[in-house]
């Protein structure tokens, strides 16, 4: 076992990651991918530091295995899947600096009904790995705790015909700078379903790269952002249809009030020969004032023939006619606005399959909408 | 109940209503007829309080109060209801949720207690039946994918549920076949009441065969150019607007 440290982790991969980060430095707005999220200026003098952030399992259902990455002698499933090469700058930083993290596994064929609840908290860098073996299924509820600057690197490995529903709620985090880089690899017939609800912070960046690696693999992404004040929220996705007969959908709805900024950058790549791929991408934003901003950038990169790809983006205001209609029927203006905003977000929320989680996100949105009215 | 005096209304800086005077008593049904573009919908919107419809001269008094000083929702709570020519589609809000929210908002504004979900459901169901509004329609998002006739029936259902004091029906007949027209007219007639006034706006005389008005006003070029009893409608139908309407230059 050469290249494994006392901690048991693949040291060579960490060194590579450290070199990559050193070469690139902290991303800033002159880097195309980070144009709307100037991490360097948001962090200021302090930079990314070298602190280690925390992870916390609030509920670990029976059947889910856990390995603490600071421990020695990692099992084979960790060695096989942890820290696959990454080209992502911030993911390289978390790998180089995290020193530990958590690895989770649902073994082959095991279906877990109770959600696994995982929170990231405190400031610094942290890594996580979730492996669903063939035929396994799980609901992951990810919580985003406080922490001035946190950088999470999260890897997902979904085996054949496995099903993961991932719900991530990022509450209003005030002045925090939060970065999370996810990479998801889905085997044949596997399904990744994710919903990201964001209430923003000084800078919030959530980036997910998904590889549909086996025939019949599916990814369904949805998300809502509800931003006020000076909040920022950036969702950047890259879905790669590496093989044919794969399917992806994306539905993001953002509401930006005050001086806030909502960002969606979504790239779909259909690789050469990935015929019969099907992708649908939609991002919409409502601006509630002249100082709010939304940047929506859906993008297609197709190298195959015979594919079905649709994408669209639209930024608008709350519809004046609808507002008048509701008010003319007696609904006060603030309530009518709330109703319309909620209605605007609803179809993205409805994408959450888990009933409890769907209700939870709905309640969070209603509370935030009341506070905004 | 409603007193409109020398009303001038501008939309986007352009004067649309140019001195309209009209008075409506409780229990009365008045019709407003007029060619397309004569300002009928403008009048209905200004009564309901839509933004962008500026009163540049004249007044609207409703039960002794200056109506123009009230917000749209305040007017609704005080009993003003406009059945719109083009009801708005609102995806994401089910018809039933909308009805409950609106009814309770009006009740709250009047200091009445909220009706619970079951109370609203019972009330709506009873009225929906006679207007041939199905359960399934009530579950759909408001007006989304409704046919023209369904939208108009839903407007009248709302009128039945909210029980307004002053109802303005803006071309509720347009786009309806004869059966739907009859259904809507019956719904409206069922709501005729000594305490309720109605302003029925229409382009065609047809509706007035079913909803017989106490008085007809003909609107053209932003002014009332002719007035009379119900026989005026027949005259308009026979001769067309051009013969009666001397559109002011
Ligand atoms: N929002 C608007 N902006 C500018 N002009 C308008 C607007 N709405 C209506 N108008 C104009 O006002 C006039 C009257 O329109 P409207 O009240 O809709 O007439 P009617 O309902 O009798 O057909 C028309 O000339 C129309 O073009
Ligand atoms: Mg009209």
Q: What is the pLDDT of residues A135-156, one digit of tens each?
A: 999 999 999 998 889 999 999 9
**Which ipTM score applies to this complex?**
0.95
Closest CA to B187 of B142, B147, B133: B133
Q: Percent of chain A having pLDDT more than 70?
A: 97
Task: Please determine, for residue A3, whether its predicted confidence score (pLDDT) is greater than 60.
Answer: no
Query: Taking a contact as any Cβ pair under 8 Å apart, which residues of chain A between 223 and 282 contact chain B?
Result: none
Flag whether B249 is in a domain. Answer: no
**CA–CA separation, B65 vs A231, rounded Å?**
44
Task: Please tell me the distance in Å from B106's CA to the nearest CA on chain A.
Answer: 5
Chain-chain contact of A325 with B87 (C-beta, under 8 angstroms): yes
The token pair that represents B165 in the structure block: 């004091």
Flag whether B180 is in a domain. Answer: yes
What are residue B61's DSSP bridge partners?
A: B3, B66
Q: What is the pLDDT of residue B249?
A: 43
Instruction: Determine if residue B218 is left, alpha or beta; phi over 0 gives left, psi from -120 to 50 gives alpha, anything else beta.
Output: beta
Flag whether B87 is in a domain. Answer: yes
pLDDT digits (tens, 9 = 90+) for B189-218: 999 999 999 999 998 888 888 999 999 999
pLDDT digits (tens, 9 = 90+) for B131-168: 889 999 999 999 999 988 899 999 999 999 999 999 99
CB of residue B41 inside a 6 A radius of ligand 1: yes
Instruction: State the pLDDT confidence band at A113, using cuts at 50, 70 and 90.
Output: very high
Task: Please tell me the distance in Å from A343's CA to the nearest CA on chain B.
Answer: 4
Please give the helix or strand (H or E) that residue B8 lies within, else none. strand B2-11
Instruction: State the pLDDT confidence band at A4, using cuts at 50, 70 and 90.
Output: very low
Q: Which residue of chain B has the CA closest to A344?
A: B92
Q: What is the pLDDT of residue B23?
A: 96
Instruction: Determine if residue A96 is left, alpha or beta; phi over 0 gives left, psi from -120 to 50 gives alpha, anything else beta.
Output: alpha
CB of residue B105 inside a 6 A radius of ligand 1: no
Nearest CA to ligand 1 atom 16: B39
CB neighbours of residue A368 within 10 Å: 20
Chain-chain contact of B51 with A320 (C-beta, under 8 angstroms): yes
- CATH number, domain of B35, equals 3.40.50.300
* Nearest atom of ligand 1 to the alpha carbon of B52: 1
CB of residue B178 inside a 6 A radius of ligand 1: no
Chain A positions touching B102 (Cβ under 8 A) are 326, 329-331
Q: At what angle do helices B178-190 and B117-130 cross, to 10 degrees?
A: 130
Flag whether B22 is in a domain. Answer: yes
Flag whether B121 is in a domain. Answer: yes
Task: Please determine, for residue B9, whether its predicted confidence score (pLDDT) is greater than 60.
Answer: yes
Instruction: State the pLDDT confidence band at B245, using cuts at 50, 70 and 90.
Output: low
Nearest CA to ligand 1 atom 26: B37
Task: Please tell me the distance in Å from B207's CA to the nearest CA on chain A.
Answer: 24
Task: Please determine, for residue A5, whether its predicted confidence score (pLDDT) is greater than 70.
Answer: no
Q: Which domain holds residue B169?
A: 2-244
* Nearest atom of ligand 1 to the alpha carbon of B36: 23
CB contact, 8 Å: A349 with chain B? Answer: no
Say which ligand is closest to the CA of B45: 1
Closest CA to A217 of A177, A249, A257: A249
What are residue A181's DSSP bridge partners?
A: A153, A207
Q: Edge to edge, what strands does the sheet with A261-270 contain?
A: A65-68, A101-106, A124-132, A149-158, A177-186, A203-212, A232-241, A261-270, A293-302
Instruction: State the pLDDT confidence band at A9, using cuts at 50, 70 and 90.
Output: low
* Nearest atom of ligand 1 to the alpha carbon of B222: 14
CB of residue B39 inside a 6 A radius of ligand 1: yes
Q: In total, how many domains does chain B have?
A: 1
Q: Is the pTM of this model over 0.95?
A: no
Q: What is the pLDDT of residue B154?
A: 94
How does the average pLDDT of chain A come out, rounded?
94
The token pair that represents A220 in the structure block: 């369904």
Q: List, in order, residues 6 or more apart from A31 with CB less than 8 Å away.
A: none
Task: Please determine, for residue B41, whether its predicted confidence score (pLDDT) is greater than 60.
Answer: yes
**CA–CA separation, B211 vs B200, rounded Å?**
9
What are residue A286's DSSP bridge partners?
A: A255, A316
The token pair that represents A301 in the structure block: 């990169």
Chain A positions touching B71 (Cβ under 8 A) are 327, 333
Flag whether B216 is in a domain. Answer: yes
A88 phi and psi angles, rounded to 5 deg: -85, 130
**CA–CA separation, B172 vs B86, rounded Å?**
9
Summarize the confidence of residues A261-278 as an average pLDDT: 97
Instruction: State the pLDDT confidence band at A99, using cuts at 50, 70 and 90.
Output: confident
């Amino acid at each position: 076992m050469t290249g494994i440290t006392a901690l048991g982790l693949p040291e060579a991969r960490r060194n590579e990651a450290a070199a990559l980060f050193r070469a690139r430095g902290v991303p800033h707005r002159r880097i195309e991918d980070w144009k709307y999220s100037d991490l360097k200026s948001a962090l200021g003098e302090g930079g990314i530091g070298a602190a280690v952030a925390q992870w916390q399992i609030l509920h670990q259902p029976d059947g889910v295995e856990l390995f603490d990455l600071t421990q020695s002698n990692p099992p084979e499933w960790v060695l096989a899947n942890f820290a696959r090469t990454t080209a992502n700058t911030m993911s390289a930083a978390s790998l180089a600096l995290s020193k530990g993290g958590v690895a989770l596994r649902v073994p082959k064929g095991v279906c877990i009904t109770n959600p696994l609840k995982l929170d990231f908290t405190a400031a610094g860098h942290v890594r996580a790995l979730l492996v669903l073996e063939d035929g396994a299924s799980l609901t992951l509820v990810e919580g985003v705790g406080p922490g001035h600057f946190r950088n999470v690197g999260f890897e997902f490995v979904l085996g054949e015909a496995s099903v993961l529903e991932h719900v991530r709620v990022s509450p209003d985090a005030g002045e925090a700078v939060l970065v999370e880089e996810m990479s998801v690899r889905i085997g044949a017939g596997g399904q990744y379903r994710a919903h990201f609800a964001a209430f923003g912070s000084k800078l919030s960046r959530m980036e997910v790269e998904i590889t549909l690696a086996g025939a019949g693999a599916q990814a369904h992404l949805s998300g809502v952002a509800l931003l006020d004040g000076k909040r920022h929220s950036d969702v950047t996705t890259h879905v790669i249809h590496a093989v044919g007969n794969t399917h992806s959908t994306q539905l993001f709805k953002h509401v930006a009030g005050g001086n806030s900024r909502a960002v969606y950058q979504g790239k779909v790549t259909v690789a050469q020969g990935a015929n019969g791929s099907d992708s649908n991408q939609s991002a919409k934003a409502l601006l509630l004032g002249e100082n709010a901003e939304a940047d929506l950038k859906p993008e297609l990169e197709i190298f195959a023939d015979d594919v079905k790809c649709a994408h669209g983006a639209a930024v608008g205001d709350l519809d004046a006619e609808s507002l008048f209609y509701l008010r003319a029927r007696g609904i006060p203006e603030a309530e009518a606005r709330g109703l319309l905003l909620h209605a605007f977000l609803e179809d993205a929320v409805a994408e959450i399959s888990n009933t409890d989680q769907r209700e939870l996100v709905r309640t969070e949105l209603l509370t935030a909408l009341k506070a905004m009215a | 109940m409603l007193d409109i005096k020398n009303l001038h209304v501008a939309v986007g800086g352009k004067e649309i209503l140019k001195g309209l005077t009209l008075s409506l008593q409780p229990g009365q049904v008045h019709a407003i007829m007029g060619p397309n573009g004569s300002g009928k919908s403008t009048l209905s919107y200004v009564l309901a309080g839509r933004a962008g419809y500026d009163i540049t001269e004249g007044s609207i008094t409703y039960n002794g109060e200056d109506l123009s000083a009230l917000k749209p929702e305040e007017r609704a709570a005080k009993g003003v209801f406009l059945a719109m020519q083009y009801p708005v589609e609102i995806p994401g809000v089910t018809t039933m949720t909308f009805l409950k929210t609106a009814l309770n908002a009006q009740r709250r504004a009047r200091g009445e207690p909220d009706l619970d979900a079951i109370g609203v459901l019972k009330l709506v169901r009873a009225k929906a039946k006679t207007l041939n509004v199905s359960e399934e329609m009530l579950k759909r998002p408001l007006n989304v994918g409704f046919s023209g006739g369904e939208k108009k029936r839903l407007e009248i259902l709302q009128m039945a549920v909210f029980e307004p004091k002053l109802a303005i029906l803006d071309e509720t007949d347009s786009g309806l076949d004869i059966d739907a027209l009859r259904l809507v007219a019956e719904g409206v007639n069922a709501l005729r009441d000594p305490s309720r006034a109605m302003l029925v706006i229409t382009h065609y005389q047809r509706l007035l065969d079913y909803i017989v008005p106490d008085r007809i006003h003909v609107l053209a070029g932003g002014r009332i150019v002719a007035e009379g009893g119900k026989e005026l409608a027949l005259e308009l139908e026979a001769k067309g607007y051009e013969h009666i309407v001397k559109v002011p230059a």
